[in-house]
Amino acid sequence: MQSNKEEEMVKGRLEEVDALRVDGKTLIITGRLFKAARLKEEWYEDVENPGPMIKALEDAKPKPDIFTFWQRLPEIAPKYNYFMEKESIAAVLIKSYDYWYNKQIDTNARRAIRKSEKNGVRVKVARFDDEFIKGMTCIFNEAPVRQGKPFWHYGKDFETVKRQFSRYLYREDLIGAYYNDELIGFIMLGHAGKYAELGQIISKIEHRDKSPNNALIAKAVEICDQKQISYLTYGFWKRGSWGEFPRRNGFEKIDLPRYYIPLTVKGKLILKLRLHHGIKGILPEKLLARLLDLRRKYYTWKYYEKAGQT
């Protein structure tokens, strides 16, 4: 299981085509059917004053079609008069570790945390040293497919992992899950000022029976409690079976205001036709679920069954 904000951008098949700095913040412009601009670090930065950003984007060449931004936790009440929709994220309010463990998670999650400890899994804050990076690389290269799609970290070598994951260490706690001194899972816990977020959570499929992800979440909540961080987020809210793990671990759906400002005639048309979410935004939910299931079966066949026949 993994959760990564950069991956969520890739998942939408967006391509970064340009970037500009406004008010000390980086805006990226992405898209194929239309060009949309947003804060590159929108999970970590706020748009306090949209005016200068809108003006800079209107003067940009090429001009994007839409500018979108949201309000971060805990500001859930809309503050602006732009076209707005709800963006749903998974988050848990941290009152205390004991409250989370006893009141917010379900019986299965508590049982998994105890099971992890009984099976010898030890969870601790880790250092980003060569041993940790080797462990990360091993986890990434365990399987080419995760969650029904090609895993985008698969095939990366030590130096690539070291370079890519060292960029944001200044704002992260590394949490490692160990079994017999082997790194079998980890979290990159990002501190976003108003909350902490699970920028990456992943563990070895081989050790799934030891519930390392549950133990990692428990440690992340413990750190939030110690640092008096009010919320822990788990990316965007997922329906169905994909969202079962965070729900069992106390995460709830929280709706945040997301704004869309058209900057071109094309942008106005895109919003009017409700095409700003791409094809996934216009497909019926049941059909989308069916397509995702077919995708999962295809990649399972492509990378496993087909490989076994050769």
**Confidence band, pLDDT 50/70/90 cuts, at residue 11:** very low
Q: Which residue has the higher pLDDT, 238 or 65?
A: 65
| Cα–Cα dist 285/215, whole Å | 32
Does residue 289 contact residue 240 with C-beta atoms inside 8 Å?
Answer: yes
Instruction: Please give the structure tokens belonging to residue 222.
Output: 């413990």
Residue 204 has pLDDT above 70, yes or no: yes
- Range with the lowest mean pLDDT among 59-63, 111-115, 274-278, 294-298? 294-298
Q: What is the pTM of this model?
A: 0.86
Question: What percent of the chain shows pLDDT beyond 70?
Answer: 86
For 118-150, the pLDDT digits (tens) are 999 999 999 999 999 999 999 999 989 887 778
CA torsion through residues 3, 236, 240, 177, sign: positive
CB atoms < 10 A from the CB of 17, how many? 13
Q: What is the pLDDT of residue 152?
A: 87
Buried b / exposed e along 117-155 (16+ C-beta atoms within 10 A): beeebebeebeeeeebbebbbebbebeebbeeeebebee
The residues facing 231 across adjacent strands are 93
* Res 139: pLDDT: 97
Q: Alpha-carbon distance 46 to 127, whole Å?
A: 29
- The pLDDT, as a whole number, for residue 199 is 84
Start-to-end Cα distance in the chain = 28
Q: Looking up tokens 């077919």, which residue turns up?
A: 294
Say how far apart CA 190 and CA 195 lie, in whole Å: 9
Percentage of the chain exceeding pLDDT 90: 72
For residues 3 and 234, the answer to whether their CB atoms sit within 8 Å is yes
For the chain, domain boundaries: 5-87+256-308, 91-253
Among 46-50, 90-94, 97-101, which is the least confidently predicted range? 46-50
Beta strands in 31-133 (DSSP E): 36-39, 66-70, 83-93, 121-126
User: Tokens at residue 93, please?
Assistant: 């309010």
Confidence grade of residue 239 (pLDDT, cut at 50, 70, 90):
confident
Comparing CA positions, the residue from 6, 2, 245 lying closest to residue 142 is 2
Tell me the three state secondary structure of residue 26.
Answer: strand
Q: What value does the mean pLDDT of the chain take? A: 88
Rg, the chain, Cα only? 20
pLDDT band for 281, please (50, 70, 90 cuts): low
**Residues for the chain: how many in total?**
310
Decide yes or no: CATH 3.40.50.360 for domain 91-253. no
Distance of CA 245 to the CA centre of its chain: 14
Interacting residues of 44 by C-beta distance below 8 A, sequence separation 6+: 171, 190, 192, 193
